[in-house]
Structure 1
C-alpha cells in the first residue's frame, strides 16, 4: 500500500506544483473569453467553473482510465508510480495547453490549432489519425460496455459463440447508428452528470475499501515474484517500453482529450479557470486510473480462491483473468474484471450502481465519436449531410468497418488486447500534434525557455508510438532492436522539426507579447 500512497502524493503535490507552473508560463489574464465575445447561446455560452470542470471530466473519462490500468498493472507496482508521474508532467500539461490555447485563439477547435501552428501537411496527417482514433473509439465502446453488460449484469458468459453476446452488441450498435444520424444524444445528455458522479463514486469507493480493509498491494522495493503472480517475469518479457505506455492510455496521456478541452474552451468565463477545468480534471482521471490499477492488483493478490482473481497462462500464450465459479476456475475478459472489483469493494448494491455508470459512460462517448467521424469525413471531402439519406450513405460504410473490427476482436483470443493497444496507440499518436502545436506556440510567443514542458512529453511519446508501430505485426513487423533505433530517430526528427517550425514562425501570434 505504501507505493500506492507515494504515487498518490506525487499525483496531488506534483499536480499542484506543475499546474501552478503551467499558469505561470501561459499567464492567463482577465481578457474577454470566447464565451462572451462570441456568445451565441449554442456553442459559445458562459458556464460556471464547476460545470465546465464536470463536463470536461465526463468528456475525457470513460472506460479508458479503467481498462488500461487493469491490464497495465500486470507490469508490476511500478505502474502505481508511472501513472501519476506521466499524468502530472504529460497528460495534464497536454490538456491544459490545448484548452488554454484554443480559448485564447477565440474558441478554435483542435484541427484549427494544429493547422495554424504546424502546417497544412501536418494537418492532413492529423486528420487521418483523428478518423482512425474515432473509428477505434466507436469499436472499443461497443465491445467494452457490451461485455460488461453481458457478463456482469445479465450473467451471460460473453463468449463469441453465445447468441446473447451478439444481441447485446447489436442493441448498442443500433443505438449508435441511430445516434450517428439523428441527434438523440441530447436526450441522454441530460443525465450525463449522474453517470459522471457514479464514475467518481466507484473510484472513491474502491479507494476507500483498499484503505479501510488494507488490501494487499505489492511495493516497488519488495519482491515482484509473488505467489499470486510473477510481476517481475511479466515486466521482463513484456517490453515495458513501449507496451505499458500503449496499454495505459487515458490515465497518463490521451490525444482524444485535446478535442474535448477545445469544446470547453468556448464556455469558460475566465482564463483563470483553466487550471481547474483542464489541468486538474486530468489529475482526477489519473486518480481513477491509479485506483483501478491498485484494485486489480489487490484482487490478484487475494486470488480467486478468496473471491479475487487468479492469473493463468492459456494454451495460446495469453494471460487470462480467472475467477472461481461453481467450484471451478473460469476465464473472464479484462472488461469483466471491472465487475469483480466493483462487487468485491462496494458490495452487491454499490457494485451494481457502479457497473451501470461504467456501462453507460462509454456508450454516451461512442455515439458522439462515430457522429464526429461521419462529420469529419464529410467536411474533409465536402460531402453534403443535409438529409437523412446522405447521412446514412456515409454512416453505413463506417458501421460496416466497425462491425468487421468488432467481430475479429471478439473471435480472436488476443483480439481485445490488440484492439485496445491500437486504440491506445492512435490515441497517443494523436496527442503528438497538440503537443507540437503548443511547443511552437510557446516559442513564437517568446516563452521558448518553457517549451520543454510540452516538447519532452512529445518527444517521449513519439518514441513510444514509433517503437510500437515499427514492431507491431499489424504495423511494420520489425525486430525490437530496429524498432528502438527507428523510434529514437523519429523522436529526434520530431524535436528538430517542432523547434524549427517554432523559430520560423510565419504568422502573427495569437498572443502578442506586451
Structure 2
C-alpha cells in the first residue's frame, strides 16, 4: 500500500512541478485562440475550462487506463513506475504539446502539425496512419462496451444469447457514434460528458477505496514495489517487461491516440493559459485512474497466505469486460458496481465517438473540406463508421494488439514533432523535454515491432529477444541522430552565428 500512495503522490506532485515547468517552457500567451478567432458552431465552439477538462479526460481515457493497466499489472508492481514516470515525463508532455501546437495552428489535426514541423512525407504518413488508428480505436471502444453490457445482463456466461446481445449493442453504439460524429460538439458531447466524467471519477475512487480496505483487513494484500520489483509475469522471459509492458499499458502512461484528441479541445479553449489544466491535467488524471486499476488488479487476484503472484490476473485474461465486471461486483457490491460499470461503459463510448469525430476532422483537414454544413460531414462520417463496423467482426484481441503498437508509434512521432517545434521556435535546450521521451518511445515501438508475434515475431526465434533489443536501440539512436543533424545542430549553429554577428557589430 505504501508503494501505491507514493506513486499517487508522485503523479500529483508531477502535475504541479513538472507540468508548470513544461508550461513555462512553451510560454502560453494572450493571443486569440481558434474558437475566439472564428467560431463555427460545430467544431470551433468556446467552452469553459472545467467542461473542456472533463471532455478531454473522457476523450483520452477510454478502456486504456482500465484494460491496459489491468493487463500491464500482470508484470507486477513495476507497472507503477511506468505509469508514474510515463505520465509525468512522456504522456503529459505529449498531450500538452499536441494540444498547444494545435491551438497555435488554427486547431490543426496532428497529421497537419507533423507535416508542418517534420515535412510533407511525414504529413502523408501521419494522415494515413492516424485515420487507420482512429478507426481501430473506434472499433475497440465499440465492441468493448457492447461486450461489457452483454456481460452485465448475462452474468458473464458465454452463450449464444450473449453473442446476440453484443451484436445488438454494437449497432446501438454505432448509431450513437454517427450522431456524435455529425452533431455540433456542444450539443451531445458537451452536454453528457461532464455527467459521465463524474461517474468515472467516483468509480475510480470506489475501486481504490475498496482495494485499500481489503489490504488493511489482510484478505487481498497489495504487493509493494520492493516485493515484486521484477518480471512477475507467470510466463517469465517469454513475456519480457521491455517492450511488452510499455506497449500494453498504453493510455495509462502515454498514448498517441491522445494526439488525435487534443486538437478537438484546442478548438474550444478560449485562452492558451488553460492548456496545462486541460491537456497536462487530464493526462495526469488518467494516470491516476490507471494506477488505481493496476493496484486493484494486483491485489484482487493476490490471495493472502499464498506467495505473491499475478497468475490469477493472467488466468482471468488481464484487462477485459469480464474481469472488470467481476472486480466491480465483488469490490463495490450491487449498488456500487452499477456506478462503477456505468463509468467503465461510458468511458470507452465517450472515446469511441470522438475517435470517429477526430477521423472526420483529419480527413477534412487533409482534403480541405469545410465542415460547417452537415451535407459535407455526412460523406466523411458514414464511410468511416461503415469500415469500423466491418472491422468489429475481427477478433477483438487482435485489433487491440495492433492498436497498441500503432498507438505508441503515433505517440513517438507526435513527440518528435513537439521536440522540433521547441528547438526551432523556443530554444535548442528546450527541445529536450520532448526529445528524451521521443527517443525512449522510438526504442519501445521498434523493439516491439521486431519482437511481437503480430509483427516480425523475432521473439519466437533463437536469440530473437536480444536481436529485437539491439534493433530497437539502434533505431532510436538513428532517429536521435537525424534530430541532431536536421534540427538541433542547425539551431545551435544559427544562434552561434547570430551571437558572433552581434559582437562583431558592437566592435
Q: Report what 2:482 is aligned to.
A: 497
Q: Report what 2:456 is aligned to.
A: 476
Q: Alignment RMSD, CA only?
A: 3.1
In 1, the alpha carbon distance for the partners of 2:78 and 2:88 equals 16
SS of the residue 1:24 aligns to = helix
Corresponding position: 1:173 with 2:171: yes
Q: Is the 8 A contact 2:449 2:456 kept in 1?
A: yes
Structure 1 pair 193–166 and aligned structure 2 pair: CA distance change class (3 A): same
Q: Is the 8 A contact 1:180 1:395 kept in 2?
A: no
In 1, the alpha carbon distance for the partners of 2:378 and 2:78 equals 52
Q: How does 1:59-208 map to 2 (within 5 A)?
A: 59-157=59-157, 159=158, 162-173=160-171, 175-176=173-174, 179-180=177-178, 183=182, 188-189=188-189, 190-208=191-209
* CA-CA distance at 1:90 after TM superposition: 0.6
In 2, the alpha carbon distance for the partners of 1:285 and 1:208 equals 17
Q: Is the 8 A contact 1:218 1:224 kept in 2?
A: no
Structure 1 pair 79–310 and aligned structure 2 pair: CA distance change class (3 A): closer
SS of the residue 1:474 aligns to = coil
SS of the residue 2:226 aligns to = coil
Corresponding position: 1:465 with 2:453: no
Q: How does 1:32-43 map to 2 (within 5 A)?
A: 32-43=32-43
Q: Report what 1:344 is aligned to.
A: 330
Question: 1:205-259, CA deviations, whole angstroms, 9 ceiling, x for partnerless residues?
Answer: 122223344251111222679xxxx926555442100000110000100111122
**Correspondence for 2:391 among 393, 402, 407:** 402
SS of the residue 2:315 aligns to = strand
Q: Is the 8 A contact 2:419 2:431 kept in 1?
A: yes
Question: 1:366-388, CA deviations, whole angstroms, 9 ceiling, x for partnerless residues?
Answer: 24424544665677579999489
Q: Is the 8 A contact 1:206 1:342 kept in 2?
A: yes
In 1, the alpha carbon distance for the partners of 2:105 and 2:228 equals 51
Question: 1:455-479, CA deviations, whole angstroms, 9 ceiling, x for partnerless residues?
Answer: 1111111111111112223212222
In 1, the alpha carbon distance for the partners of 2:259 and 2:376 equals 30
Structure 1 pair 47–382 and aligned structure 2 pair: CA distance change class (3 A): closer
Q: Report what 1:363 is aligned to.
A: 349
Which aligned segments of 4 or more residues in structure 1 are displaced greater than 6 angstroms? 184-187, 381-385
Unaligned runs of 5+ in 1: 314-318, 322-330, 410-415, 506-514
Corresponding position: 1:277 with 2:272: no
Structure 1 pair 36–358 and aligned structure 2 pair: CA distance change class (3 A): same
In 2, the alpha carbon distance for the partners of 1:95 and 1:396 equals 26
In 2, the alpha carbon distance for the partners of 1:369 and 1:283 equals 20
Q: Is the 8 A contact 1:179 1:185 kept in 2?
A: no
Q: How does 1:382-461 map to 2 (within 5 A)?
A: 386=375, 394-395=383-384, 398-399=387-388, 401-405=390-394, 408-409=395-396, 416=397, 418-461=398-441
SS of the residue 2:301 aligns to = helix
In 1, the alpha carbon distance for the partners of 2:165 and 2:171 equals 10
Structure 1 pair 367–267 and aligned structure 2 pair: CA distance change class (3 A): closer
* CA-CA distance at 1:178 after TM superposition: 6.8
Q: Report what 1:28 is aligned to.
A: 28
Q: Is the 8 A contact 1:98 1:261 kept in 2?
A: yes
Corresponding position: 1:47 with 2:47: yes
Larger fraction in helix: 2
Q: Report what 1:210 is aligned to.
A: 211
Unaligned runs of 5+ in 2: 459-463, 492-507
* CA-CA distance at 1:351 after TM superposition: 0.9
Q: Is the 8 A contact 1:247 1:420 kept in 2?
A: no
What is the TM-score of this pair, normalised by structure 1? 0.83
Structure 1 pair 332–242 and aligned structure 2 pair: CA distance change class (3 A): closer
Corresponding position: 1:353 with 2:345: no
What is the TM-score of this pair, normalised by structure 2? 0.84
* CA-CA distance at 1:28 after TM superposition: 1.6
In 2, the alpha carbon distance for the partners of 1:192 and 1:258 equals 19
Structure 1 pair 177–381 and aligned structure 2 pair: CA distance change class (3 A): farther
Q: Is the 8 A contact 2:261 2:355 kept in 1?
A: no
Question: 1:424-452, CA deviations, whole angstroms, 9 ceiling, x for partnerless residues?
Answer: 21111111222111111111124211211
Point out the more displaced range, 39-48 or 105-114.
Answer: 39-48
In 2, the alpha carbon distance for the partners of 1:173 and 1:133 equals 21
Aligned residue-pair number: 473
In 2, the alpha carbon distance for the partners of 1:397 and 1:103 equals 31
SS of the residue 2:139 aligns to = helix
Point out the more displaced range, 260-269 or 384-393.
Answer: 384-393
Corresponding position: 1:222 with 2:222: no
Q: How does 1:237-248 map to 2 (within 5 A)?
A: 237-248=238-249
Point out the more displaced range, 379-388 or 98-107.
Answer: 379-388
